């Protein structure tokens, strides 16, 4: 499973990348707002740190303007993955970006299996189902991940399932159990994956016993 971080915070991205944990990054207009920087500058800084795909989102809602923005974003770096919304114009832009620009596309704001089917038919590199926002409505976001996995397997689609709107470590475990290709999570959630009280307790005991031996290694 690939790990993407869902942030435009360059410091966080650098730290997680140094840990060897990152396969890519996802941003969106809200995260760019939070970063306080311009989309061009922030995306360039992120692409200089991370080798994998860095999703940068178009904000136009009509095809022609989406394509213009996609070309601007693509010039920032070779690993910019163009993010488009799951609308008819977005799907049309996805198809063109994939076939004429040979660039990766992340189709975002997916809330149904049929939307994911359309994105795969448009040649999307990634489909982003928002599991946390589905959970917020009282439904189970993981049911959608399982449905998309089955549909994509049925037809051998190449589109990768990018589990998004992740809120908990349990979302990551469930997505991995289902076989989603990628998860994008906030920095704190990725860091929380390592935590277990028995690990902390065990380490404390080993260090205490080691101190009593009076030994040093090397
Ligand atoms: C994914 O690409 C989105 O940026 C993100 O996961 C949205 O998450 P949110 O629902 O926490 O805003």
Domain boundaries, given as residue ranges, for the chain: 2-213
- Averaged pLDDT, 161-173: 98
Q: Is the CB of 134 under 6 A from ligand 1?
A: no
Where residue 5 falls among pLDDT bands split at 50, 70, 90?
very high
Where residue 174 falls among pLDDT bands split at 50, 70, 90?
very high
Q: Is the CB of 127 under 6 A from ligand 1?
A: no
CA distance 184 to 202: 30
- Ligand 1, atom 12, lies closest to the CA of 165
pLDDT tens by residue, 58-88: 999 999 999 999 999 999 999 999 999 999 9
Where residue 215 falls among pLDDT bands split at 50, 70, 90?
very high
Query: Which CATH superfamily, name and number, covers 2-213?
Result: Aldolase class I (3.20.20.70)
- Averaged pLDDT, 2-16: 98
Active-site residue, from 44, 71, 83, 195:
83
pLDDT at 95: 98
What is the chain's mean pLDDT, rounded?
Answer: 98
Going by the DSSP 8-state scheme, the letter that residue 164 receives in this structure is B
CA distance 186 to 30: 13
């Amino acid at each position: 499973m690939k790990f993407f971080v869902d942030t435009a915070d360059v410091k966080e991205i650098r730290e997680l990348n140094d840990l060897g944990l990152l396969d890519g990054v996802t941003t969106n207009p809200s995260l760019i707002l939070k970063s306080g920087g311009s989309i061009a500058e922030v995306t360039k800084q992120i692409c200089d740190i991370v080798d994998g795909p860095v999703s940068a989102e178009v904000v136009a809602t009509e095809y022609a303007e989406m394509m213009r923005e996609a070309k601007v974003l693509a010039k920032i770096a070779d690993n910019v993955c163009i993010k488009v919304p799951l609308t008819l114009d977005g799907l049309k832009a996805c198809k063109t970006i994939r076939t004429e620009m040979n660039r990766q596309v992340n189709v975002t704001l997916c809330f149904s299996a049929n939307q994911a089917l359309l994105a795969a038919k448009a040649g999307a590199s990634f489909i982003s189902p928002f599991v946390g926002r589905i959970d917020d409505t009282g439904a189970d976001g993981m049911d959608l991940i399982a449905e998309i996995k089955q549909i994509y397997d049925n037809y051998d689609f190449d589109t990768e399932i990018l589990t998004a709107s992740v809120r908990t470590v349990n979302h990551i475990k469930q997505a991995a159990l289902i076989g989603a290709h990628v998860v994008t999570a906030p920095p704190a959630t990725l860091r929380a994956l390592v935590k277990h009280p028995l690990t902390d307790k065990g380490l404390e005991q080993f260090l205490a016993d080691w101190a009593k031996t009076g030994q040093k290694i090397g």
